[in-house]
Amino acid sequence: MTTQLLKYTNRLRHADQLIRLEATGTPRLFAQKLGISESYLYGILDEMKDMGLPLTYSKTRLTYVYTKPVRLHIEIGVEIIAI
């Protein structure tokens, strides 16, 4: 497994957690919390929306939120199959 893939999935999980807690803050703060640039954050958010996650930014609460109850599930593994 590549380090890049693990970093990406960990960022997705962290982003999902912050969104569920409604603790992302502004896009700039959210990017800082994830350790990425704001432009990279927008790419991740677009990908999350493409996955079907009902995601939006609440201007009143100043945080990203899910508009419906959802859970992001990411699984990566290797299975050795006996032949």
| pLDDT given for residue 82 in this prediction | 87
The predicted structure's pLDDT at residue 28: 97
Write down the residue that tokens 């609440």 correspond to: 58
Residues 6 or more apart from 38 whose CB is under 8 A from it? 27, 28, 31
Measured CA angle at 67 (ends 76, 74), to 5 deg: 0
pLDDT for the residue 2: 78
The total number of structural domains in the chain stands at 1
Residue 14 included in any domain? yes
Q: What is the pTM of this model?
A: 0.85
What CATH number should be reported for the domain holding residue 59? Answer: 1.10.10
Per run of 10 residues, the mean pLDDT along the chain (length 83 residues) is 84 96 97 96 96 96 96 84 86
Supply the pLDDT for residue 5: 87
**Closest to 8 (Cα-Cα) out of 54, 47, 52:** 47
What pLDDT does residue 51 have? 92
Residue 54 lies inside a defined structural domain of this protein: yes
What is the extent of the structural domain holding 15? Answer: 3-66
